Protein backbone atom coordinates (compact mmCIF):
# COMPACT_ATOMS: atom_id res chain seq x y z
CA UNK A 1 0.00 0.00 0.00
CA UNK A 2 1.33 3.43 -0.89
CA UNK A 3 1.63 6.20 1.63
CA UNK A 4 -1.11 8.84 1.32
CA UNK A 5 -0.41 12.49 0.56
CA UNK A 6 -1.24 14.88 3.40
CA UNK A 7 -2.03 18.59 3.48
CA UNK A 8 -0.04 21.48 4.94
CA UNK A 9 -2.53 21.57 7.83
CA UNK A 10 -1.97 17.89 8.56
CA UNK A 11 1.84 18.10 8.39
CA UNK A 12 1.82 21.22 10.61
CA UNK A 13 -0.27 19.35 13.18
CA UNK A 14 2.01 16.30 12.90
CA UNK A 15 5.06 18.47 13.66
CA UNK A 16 3.34 20.71 16.21
CA UNK A 17 4.07 23.93 14.31
CA UNK A 18 2.07 26.55 12.44
CA UNK A 19 1.21 26.37 8.78
CA UNK A 20 3.26 29.56 8.32
CA UNK A 21 6.32 27.66 9.57
CA UNK A 22 5.66 24.94 7.01
CA UNK A 23 5.56 27.45 4.13
CA UNK A 24 8.72 29.16 5.41
CA UNK A 25 10.54 25.83 5.60
CA UNK A 26 9.46 24.98 2.04
CA UNK A 27 10.83 28.29 0.76
CA UNK A 28 13.99 28.63 2.85
CA UNK A 29 15.02 25.19 4.08
CA UNK A 30 14.14 22.83 1.25
CA UNK A 31 11.43 21.00 3.16
CA UNK A 32 10.24 18.10 1.00
CA UNK A 33 6.91 19.14 -0.50
CA UNK A 34 5.13 18.60 -3.78
CA UNK A 35 2.95 21.17 -5.50
CA UNK A 36 -0.36 19.82 -6.76
CA UNK A 37 -2.12 22.67 -8.51
CA UNK A 38 -2.10 25.48 -5.97
CA UNK A 39 -1.80 23.14 -2.96
CA UNK A 40 1.26 21.72 -1.23
CA UNK A 41 1.18 18.00 -0.43
CA UNK A 42 3.54 16.00 1.76
CA UNK A 43 4.59 12.44 2.52
CA UNK A 44 4.96 12.09 6.29
CA UNK A 45 7.96 9.75 5.92
CA UNK A 46 9.80 12.29 3.72
CA UNK A 47 9.16 15.09 6.20
CA UNK A 48 10.18 12.94 9.17
CA UNK A 49 13.44 12.02 7.41
CA UNK A 50 14.06 15.72 6.66
CA UNK A 51 13.50 16.63 10.33
CA UNK A 52 15.85 13.85 11.47
CA UNK A 53 18.55 15.25 9.16
CA UNK A 54 18.25 18.64 10.94
CA UNK A 55 16.17 20.28 8.22
CA UNK A 56 14.05 22.06 10.83
CA UNK A 57 16.94 22.74 13.22
CA UNK A 58 17.06 26.40 14.27
CA UNK A 59 20.84 26.24 14.64
CA UNK A 60 21.12 25.32 10.94
CA UNK A 61 19.77 28.74 9.95
CA UNK A 62 22.18 31.31 8.56
CA UNK A 63 23.06 33.80 11.26
CA UNK A 64 21.71 37.31 10.97
CA UNK A 65 24.32 39.99 11.24
CA UNK A 66 23.49 43.17 13.11
CA UNK A 67 24.42 46.50 11.64
CA UNK A 68 26.06 48.51 14.41
Please tell me the distance from the alpha carbon of residue 19 to that of residue 12, in angstroms, as a whole number: 6
pTM equals 0.76
Give the mean pLDDT per block of 10 residues along the chain (68 residues).
95 97 93 96 97 74 48
Cα dihedral sign for 63, 61, 34, 11? negative
Of 43, 38, 34, nearest to 4 by C-alpha is: 43
DSSP helix/strand/coil, 40:
strand
Which pLDDT score is estimated for 46? 96
Amino acid sequence: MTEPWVSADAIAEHLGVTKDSIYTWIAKRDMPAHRVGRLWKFKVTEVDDWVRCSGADESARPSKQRAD
